[in-house]
A and B are shown apart, each in its own frame.
Chain A
């Protein structure tokens, strides 16, 4: 019980599970790969009642490799690997004496890796392609760190995220566009609550499809069937029963035929036990489909 600790950025690690978006599997032998830096720095969070409360300034920085590769025309392998993850908290200082009251700390390690498969239930060129995905969250990150055990680069639990995606590509005049949505269940171990995940995505291709602007809505609702501070029986617990609804705006720009840069900003507009600050990401991708 004495080690019941939490860092409410947990959900921010798990958000990556939704990255394998869209119902379109990679064609056989083709792939999409991305190296990116994702970060969030926040000094307030959504409480269990959805209100905003302050907290010590906390930062999470992930340098990640993300890849999708088509084993067949319908079966795609997915990996999301935070190769370097850093979590820090600021010093807490007296404004009167300037002395440090609580020493700030940081930890660095690999983060939690997600491995998965996406299977196309329909052909890629179907009017409304549909796919199912299974993503496994591997607890390769550090679940506790720092002298107060309040830092983490992973949540310390295996989870299985199963989802179904559907979508459609279309044109708006001469502009290519697509829309997609997903519905999934995130089954979590170690006394964490299960989660219902759903989301929608809309993208348009501009400048002869060199620039893709994407907006995403992601929602995670906790079943609140796991442990809380009163009922936990394991020796370690991170934030549980977290919920959020977030919006993401993303731009992907091809600087060469297959090579491009991406940038995004995401922020939760509703949440419970989750950071209340925008997260940012920049990256470079290689798209073998071009």
Chain B
């Protein structure tokens, strides 16, 4: 009986090693701010609401106190909320900046104030995915704005390993993390041309495509969205 007690005590002791711990990933990126505006020209004597996106040091979108400014207030004025008024015909540069305590981040956009508002045509990002693991993952892709959302299409040169189950594809602002990423879905095509239709995502919301293996909780590959 004494031996049994000892044995069970020993076995119970080993179960204490079976506690959930922490794995850390290096996910620091450079913070950035950008103006989200898809216009080339704004009609004179109209208002236009500018928006911004601030991505913090892990690529997470945050609301912050930004400063809006106009290069020529006789052409266009802008208030602290990004609401602009087109005053007269001419050229103007709209800027946004944010001091995060370490660095002042800024972005700018050059516009024409004219007789009509001109929206930028549907945009396209192109890029290549590459493996960041030992599993095969390669190919070129295109992200397009469509009437019903976004279309992410892969070309004939696309190839992904079938040995790795539970492979998912994401849109993310951090190539090393799927935190705050948009899950497009499970990878079901492993070779050749195919397409994903993405709804409820704006064209400029994300910067990277990330392939992530859920069962292993590990990134498999990525690709940058480039103009």
Contacts and interface: CB of A to CB of B under 8 A. Distances in A.
Interface of A: 1-2, 4-8, 35, 37, 39, 41, 43, 45, 47-49, 51-57, 59, 61, 63, 86, 88-97, 99, 101-102, 104-106, 148, 150, 228-232, 237-241, 259, 272-273, 282, 284
B163 A101 contact: no
Contacts of A284: 3, 7
B121 interface: no
* Most chain A C-beta atoms within 10 Å of own C-beta, residue among B10, B23, B190: B23
B210 interface: no
Nearest to B212: A102
A229 B7 contact: no
Interface of B: 3, 7, 10-11, 14-15, 17-28, 57-58, 133-135, 161-167, 177-179, 185-188, 190-191, 213-218
B22 A90 contact: yes
A6 B163 CA distance: 10
A104 B22 CA distance: 8
A92 B178 CA distance: 11
Contacts of B188: 1
Contacts of B165: 4-6, 228-229, 232, 237-240
A215 B24 CA distance: 37
Nearest to B13: A37
A251 B30 CA distance: 54
Contacts, number: 156
B135 A229 contact: no
A228 B133 CA distance: 19
A260 B25 CA distance: 44
What's the dominant secondary structure at chain B's contact region?
A: loop
Contact of A273 (B10, B20, B163): B163
B23 A56 contact: yes
Which 9 A/B pairs are nearest by Cβ-Cβ distance?
A48-B163, A56-B217, A6-B165, A51-B134, A104-B20, A55-B216, A150-B215, A47-B134, A228-B162
A89 B217 contact: yes
Contacts of A228: 162-163, 165
Given A94-B177, A94-B179, A229-B165, A55 B18 contact: no
A102 B27 contact: no
A195 to B, nearest CB: 16
Nearest to B15: A61
12 contacts: A5-B165, A6-B166, A39-B14, A47-B135, A48-B135, A48-B163, A49-B134, A63-B15, A92-B23, A95-B24, A229-B166, A241-B163
